[in-house]
Structure 1
Amino acid sequence: MQKRQDSGAKPHAWLAALANEPRVLMLLPGLFWAGNAIVARSVADEVPPVGLAFWRWAVAALLIAPLAWPHLRRDVPVMARHWPVMLLLTALGISIFNTFLYIGAHTTTAINIVMLQTAMPIVVVIATFLIFRETLTGRQAAGIAASLAGTLTLISHGDPAVLLHLDFKRGDLWMLAAVVSYAVYTALLRLRPPVHGLSFVFATFALGAVLLVPFYAAETMWVRAMPLSAHTLAAISYVAVFASILAYLAYNRTVELLGANTAGLVVHLVPVFGTILAVLLLGEELHPYNLAGIALIAFGLWLATRKAD
């Protein structure tokens, strides 16, 4: 795989070291996307979905612009030459995925959002095979299976019957479409132009916001305007900084280091961190099934990433 111009930051040695530690990097998207699902559901009655998606990417692009600026003069011509790939990756991984997730959050539950996201590693495997004819190693397959079993253990509270009685809603179809979109984005990341990671995320964030402008305008005029409140500003701040800038930098670099099939497993960390946050912040009780599920996911990730040693 062609190495980019250091997706990791160079000014500090610890940042450079972190950029080459995929097992650490892959923890960050799971942590921040766990919060994204909760935020999306918590503001669903107040914040329109396209508006949340538009301001998420617009604010994220503005915040990361000063850091990306030193690299953009060199990288903009490269990205311009690869504009079809840039447009496709932006549409799939930025505009479509998150907008569909936020639309789905209006008519489904947070647990269903997490549940459907657990299918993403499998959809990534299907996408990489259909597009690039890439197959799984035995260790990767075992790791995905163990990690998926752990995720389902957490979601079902250790009772498989719970999975049979989940109440699927219209929003789940939006979420399923979002999962397919992001899986294809993950598979196609290997085609991204050889530019700095900061240039890439700035360009995709800014272009993603631009692609949403007509839909945001239509939503504002004919559905509901974006409210200005402390709750809204807090939600936008979280999804822009943590679920966007930090999560995408870490995820894109993980795909670069480990490949799409293994990197897709970060989604299985979403319920892990959701459980941990609930125990630490909400005082919820830790049950044996929590420990069993987390252990299975940890084992699956260890198996799938072992070849990176």
Structure 2
Amino acid sequence: MKRGIALLILATILWGGNYICGRYLGPALPSTLLNTIRWAISTAILVGILAMNRKSLPVIARWKEFSILGFLGIFSFSTLTYFGLHSINASQAGMISAGIPIAILLFTPLVLKERIGPKSWLGAIVSIIGVIILFQGKHTDASGGSFIGQIAVILSCLAWGLYTVLGKKYGKEIDPLTMTAGAALYGTIFSAISCVGTVDLDSIHMTGMAWICVLYVSTFASVGAYLAWNSGVKIVGAGYAAPYINLLPVWTVVFGLILLNEQLSLLSLAGGILTILGAVLAGLKRGALR
């Protein structure tokens, strides 16, 4: 049990680092190009893992599922997150990401036809109020770009929520590793297409540290976090593991304050805490029912 919990915590730490690297890479790479490079490397690793396990990737047979998941979870989620990190700090993005469990909650009855209890809806309302307060607490020097950045991260949460719910639906017929590899492949294709005619080569400013960040988000924040999370879930169970996703915004804030010297207003901090508490309330209730 302790090993499983350690793996879950490790996964959230690795995912938290993705926001830090995304913030650092903002001036170095356009978000679409960054996402293409990241997931091209991740796809190669995932396909390699499949090959080591003597599994093939049904690229054609499962094109519909892979394309939908790839568009939502790989292309939309990651690109919107990186785009948002151009204009808001990692701490703010991390606290907004606490709304991911709420996005999952909203899409669950629509896609899976599962009933959601009143306490879970209460948690959703609390989180939404927290996000609104978080918006009001943005820095005094924030420009219109920060508002656009916040909207982009909220849209990324919605994309991930729908991706997660559909992944649960498709997961009845496709194993998690195959599904992730297929989504990564199609998501990379969507990202590459989005770069055509939109990426200005003059906007690329890569440094040694930038390449290290690209390597991190392509390996540790993608494949490493995925393997750690799913291994942890396998040990402790999905219901027990669910609330641990709420550690993601906590690590993001901690890393942002320590590594990027970011600052948060008290109102932003209060909104973030409220968002996390609402997500915990919703997540704990759902976990208890499983």
- Within the candidate set 28, 33, 52, 2:34 is matched to 52
**Is 2:222 aligned against 1:240?**
no
1:106 is aligned to 86
* 1:13-61, Cα deviation, whole Å (9 max, x unpaired): x9xx96xx4x555434421221111111122122221111111111112
CA–CA separation in structure 1 for the residues paired with 2:245 and 2:201 = 32
- Within the candidate set 207, 231, 250, 1:229 is matched to 207
Aligned residue type for 1:135? R
How far the C-alpha of 1:174 sits from its partner, in A, is: 1.6
1:211 is aligned to 190
1:191 is aligned to 169
Secondary structure, aligned partner of 2:115: coil
2:149 is aligned to 171
Secondary structure, aligned partner of 1:76: coil
CA–CA separation in structure 1 for the residues paired with 2:288 and 2:150 = 34
TM alignment of 1:94-173, pairs within 5 A: 94-137=74-117, 164-166=136-138, 168-173=146-151
Aligned residue type for 1:189? G
* 1:217-246, Cα deviation, whole Å (9 max, x unpaired): 3333x4645444312211111101121112
Q: Which range moved further: 162-171 or 173-182?
A: 162-171
How far the C-alpha of 1:88 sits from its partner, in A, is: 0.5
CA–CA separation in structure 2 for the residues paired with 1:245 and 1:190 = 19
Evaluate the alpha carbon distance shift between residue 249 and residue 35 of structure 1 in structure 2; reply closer, same or farther with a 3 A threshold: same
Q: Is the 8 A contact 2:23 2:89 kept in 1?
A: yes
CA–CA separation in structure 2 for the residues paired with 1:248 and 1:110 = 21
Q: Which runs of 5 or more residues in structure 2 are unaligned?
A: 263-268
* 1:149-208, Cα deviation, whole Å (9 max, x unpaired): 9xx6xx9xxxx7x76432551112221211111110011111335444433333222222
1:66 is aligned to 48
Q: Which range moved further: 81-90 or 196-205?
A: 196-205
Aligned residue type for 2:91? I
2:265 is aligned to none
User: Identity percentage over the alignment?
Assistant: 22
**Is 2:23 aligned against 1:41?**
yes
How far the C-alpha of 1:126 sits from its partner, in A, is: 0.7
TM-score computed with the length of structure 1 as normaliser: 0.70
TM-score computed with the length of structure 2 as normaliser: 0.74
- Number of residue pairs aligned between Structure 1 and Structure 2: 270
Evaluate the alpha carbon distance shift between residue 135 and residue 45 of structure 1 in structure 2; reply closer, same or farther with a 3 A threshold: same
Q: Is the 8 A contact 1:32 1:242 kept in 2?
A: yes
CA–CA separation in structure 1 for the residues paired with 2:101 and 2:30 = 29
CA RMSD in angstroms comes to: 3.9
**Is 2:158 aligned against 1:180?**
yes
Aligned residue type for 1:54? T
Secondary structure, aligned partner of 1:219: coil
* 1:73-132, Cα deviation, whole Å (9 max, x unpaired): 4x434x643321111011100111101111111122223312321222112111011222
Q: Is the 8 A contact 1:68 1:198 kept in 2?
A: yes
Secondary structure, aligned partner of 2:88: coil
Q: Which has the higher contact order (CA 8 A, sep 6+)?
A: 2
Aligned residue type for 2:22? A
CA–CA separation in structure 1 for the residues paired with 2:284 and 2:105 = 18
CA–CA separation in structure 1 for the residues paired with 2:136 and 2:61 = 49
CA–CA separation in structure 2 for the residues paired with 1:278 and 1:117 = 14
**Is 2:249 aligned against 1:271?**
yes
Evaluate the alpha carbon distance shift between residue 215 and residue 252 of structure 1 in structure 2; reply closer, same or farther with a 3 A threshold: farther
Aligned residue type for 1:34? G
Evaluate the alpha carbon distance shift between residue 195 and residue 163 of structure 1 in structure 2; reply closer, same or farther with a 3 A threshold: closer
Evaluate the alpha carbon distance shift between residue 227 and residue 203 of structure 1 in structure 2; reply closer, same or farther with a 3 A threshold: farther
